[in-house]
Amino acid sequence: MVKLNNKRTITVSLAFLSICAFWQLYDNIIPLILKDTFQLNAAMTGLVMGIDNMLALFMLPLFGMLSDKTKTRFGRRMPYIVIGTLVAALLMNVLLIAERRVNLLFFMIILCLLLIAMCTYRSPAVALMPDVTPKPLRSKANAIINLAGAVGGALLLFGTKPLIGDSDNPDYTLLFLVISVLMVVCVGILFFSINEPKAVSEAQEIERQLEGESEQDEDAGTDERMPKPVLISFWLILLSIFLWFMGYNAVTSTFTRYAEVEWHITVGDSSRVLLIANIAAIASYLPVGMIATKFGRRKTILGGIVMLAAAFGICLIFTSFNPLIYVFFSLAGIGWAFINVNSYPMVVEMSRGANIGRYTGFYYLASMLAQSVTPFFSGLFIDAYGYRTLMPYGCLFVAASFVTMLLVRHGDSKPVAQPVGLETFDVDD
C-alpha cells in the first residue's frame, strides 16, 4: 500500500509556512502603515494592497511555467525558492527604513520589489508538493502543507502583540526582523534536507506502477485540447476559486481596520481573533484530508463554503466586540480549511508531472485575479457606506461559489489499486 512520506511532506511544507507568515504580516501590518503613517484612505489603501495580486496575475503563471522547464542539479523548483526567499527577507527590512522616513515613493518602490521577489518563487514552492507526491496522496499532503501555512500565519499573529505592543505609534522593526529570519531558516532547512531530483523520481516511479493509470489520465491535462466535460469543470473550478477569494480576501485584508472601527479594538486584539481562526484551521487540516478521502474533494469544499459564508454573515450582527466572535471566526477558519485543502489538488489533478507548474499558475491566476480587485471594490463600498458593508460583501461572494462548485464534475481523486511492494517508497529522506 502506498503511504505518504510524512517527513518529506513536512519538510517541503516549510517553504509554504514561511510564505504564509509573510503574507499574514503583509495583510495585517501594511494596511496600518498605509493608513497611519501615510494617511491613505480605504480605497487608496485597497488599491495599494492589490498591487501584489496584479503582479501575481502574470508572474505566478510565468514562474510556474519557467520552473517546469528549469533543469539544474538542485531541481526545477529549488533555485527559485532559495533565491526568492533571500531577496525578500532583505527587502522586508529595507521597507521599514522607508516607513520610518515617511517617504511614500521610497516605500512604494521597495514594496513593489519585495512583492516581485515573493512572486518569483510562490508557484515553484507550491508546485514542489505535487512534484514529490503521487496523485492519490495529494489531498493528504496538501492538508499538511496548509497546516504548515496556518502555523506560519499563527506564528505571526501570536507574535504581533508582544513584538509591537499596544502603543498608538507601534514600532514594527522587531516583528519584520523575526519574520525575515523565520523565512530564511525554513527555506534553509528545506534546501539542505530535500534532494528534489531524487524525490521527484521516486514519486514518478510510484505513479508508473499504480494500476488504473489510464482511468486517471481521463482528467489529466496534456498539450492537446481537454475533453469538453473536463474543460467545463476546469473553468468552473477556477471560477469558484475566484469567487471565494473575492469574499475571503476582502475580509482578511481589511479585518484589522474593520475591527478597529466597528468593534473598537486594537491591532493586537484583532490579531488575536485571527489567531483563534488560524488555530481552528490548524486543528482541522489533517481531519479535512481524511474527510476528503472518504467523501470526495467536491463535497468537502461545498461544506466549507457553507461554514465560511455563515460565519461572515453572522458576524454582521456584532456592533461591538463580543467573545462569540471567537466562535464564529473559528467556524470561518474550519470552513476555509475545508476549501483550501482540496481546491488546489482538484486543479493539478488535471495536470501531468511535466506541467504541474503551469496548472499551479492557473490556480493562482484565478485566486490572484480576485485578490487584485477585491480590496479596491470592497474599499469603494466602505468609503461610500461604511465598514459594516465588509461582512455582507464577503458572505455574498463566498455563497456564490457554492453554485459554481455544484456544477463541477471532475478533479476528485480516484481510488487506485496498488501493487505489492510500493510501501518500500515510503522511506525517510
Least confident piece of the model among 4-18, 233-247, 354-368, 396-410? 354-368
Which of the pair, 266 or 107, is modelled with greater confidence?
107
Looking up cell 466572535 gives 325
Torsion of the alpha carbons at 21, 22, 27 and 33, rounded to the nearest 10: 130
DSSP summary character for residue 266: -
CA 172 to mean position of chain CA atoms: 24
Residues 363 and 355 sit within 8 Å (Cβ to Cβ): no
- Residues 206, 212, 213, 217: what is their CA dihedral angle, to the nearest 10 degrees? -140
- pLDDT for 372 equals 78
pLDDT reported for residue 44: 85
Least confidently predicted of 119-128, 165-174, 207-216, 253-262: 207-216
Tell whether the model's pLDDT for residue 42 goes beyond 70: yes
The pLDDT tens digits for 88-118 are 999 999 999 999 898 999 999 999 999 999 9
Between 143 and 242, the higher pLDDT residue? 242
Helices marked H in 317-421 — which ranges? 324-348, 356-385, 390-406
pTM, entire model: 0.75
Mean pLDDT along residues 81-86: 96
Here the cell at position 125 is 514552492
In this prediction, residue 32 carries a pLDDT of 87
pLDDT over 50 (residue 395): yes
Residue partners of 149: CB distance under 8 A and separation at least 6: 13, 16, 17, 19, 20
327-381 residue pLDDT tens? 999 999 999 989 988 999 899 887 766 688 888 889 988 988 888 788 889 989 9
Read off the C-alpha cell for 90.
Answer: 532583505
Q: Which triple of cell numbers denotes residue 332?
A: 470561518
Average pLDDT value for residue range 380-406: 94
Domains and CATH numbers, the chain: 11-203+224-413 (1.20.1250.20)
Return the exposure string of 101-131: e unless at least 16 CB atoms fall within 10 Å of the residue's CB, then b. eeebeebbebbebbbbbbbbbbbbbbbbbbb
Q: How confident is the model at residue 3 (pLDDT cuts 50, 70, 90)?
A: confident
pLDDT given at position 225: 63
Q: pLDDT confidence of 185, banded at 50, 70, 90?
A: very high
pLDDT higher than threshold 80 for residue 325: yes
Pick the range with the lowest mean pLDDT from 16-20, 166-170, 282-286, 403-407.
166-170
pLDDT-derived band at 194, boundaries 50, 70, 90: very high
**pLDDT averaged over every residue in the chain:** 85
Kindly state the cell numbers that stand for 285.
487540516
Highest mean pLDDT: which range of 60-69, 205-214, 409-418: 60-69
The listed range with the strongest mean pLDDT (75-84, 227-236, 280-289) is 75-84
Give the pLDDT confidence score for residue 422 in this predicted structure: 38
Residue type at 44 in one-letter notation: M
Q: Which residue has the cell 481546491?
A: 343
The set of cell numbers assigned to 390 is: 465588509
